[in-house]
A and B are shown apart, each in its own frame.
Chain A
Amino acid sequence: DAGVTQSPTHLIKTRGQQVTLRCSPKSGHDTVSWYQQALGQGPQFIFQYYEEEERQRGNFPDRFSGHQFPNYSSELNVNALLLGDSALYLCASSTLAGAPNNEQFFGPGTRLTVL
């Protein structure tokens, strides 16, 4: 049983560019959450998708957008990249049933560097 997978593992972009990160959830999971983790900090919640809709959103600007597909996989898009967007982007999957007490399973992350 494959766990949560993310692609790419590393990415280098320049300021002003746009980036798309991808996530496939653990088998049987229907909910995908995205987090940004800056160096030395804990993960910060960006948003969560369920049934192809954004269900909750953290304190991130509209430059951060996402999508969930019928197969539950998800994308995170960031427009007009800033130097401060450099971070590890983590995807976590879970099931909506049992929320908020159920475990989230994290993928290995995509390390984004903005130059």
Chain B
Amino acid sequence: RKEVEQDPGPFNVPEGATVAFNCTYSNSASQSFFWYRQDCRKEPKLLMSVYSSGNEDGRFTAQLNRASQYISLLIRDSKLSDSATYLCVVIHTGGSYIPTFGRGTSLIVHP
């Protein structure tokens, strides 16, 4: 089993739709969680950190479920500009802080 798993998609949704992605992780000692966005042939950029209590940034909501070992990203009112690959990142403790990226979930928002 991979340390961090994501459904690669693509998720094809119309503008205005709500879409959610999940990311599961295998190491229960994982400590820090992030969502990054990567546009085609560009570098990843931080979208948001994921806090234990859940957090929201405009149309984006991130949640953490430690019991089931997954994080989620919800995008409301999708825009064409949201089309990208969304990468989840997990960092676990245990003497090192090596970030582990998922393979990413591709989102395509169409008119």
Contacts and interface: CB of A to CB of B under 8 A. Distances in A.
Interface of A: 33, 35, 40-45, 48, 56, 58, 90, 99-101, 103-104, 106-109
B68 interface: no
A42 B97 contact: no
Contact of B42 (A42, A104, A108): A108
Interface of B: 4, 6, 8, 31-32, 34, 42-46, 49, 87, 91, 96-104
A58 B97 CA distance: 10
Contacts of B45: 106
Given A42-B87, A56-B98, A58-B98, A104 B46 contact: yes
Given A56-B96, A58-B98, A40 B44 contact: no
Contacts of A40: 8, 103
B103 A100 contact: no
B83 to A, nearest CB: 17
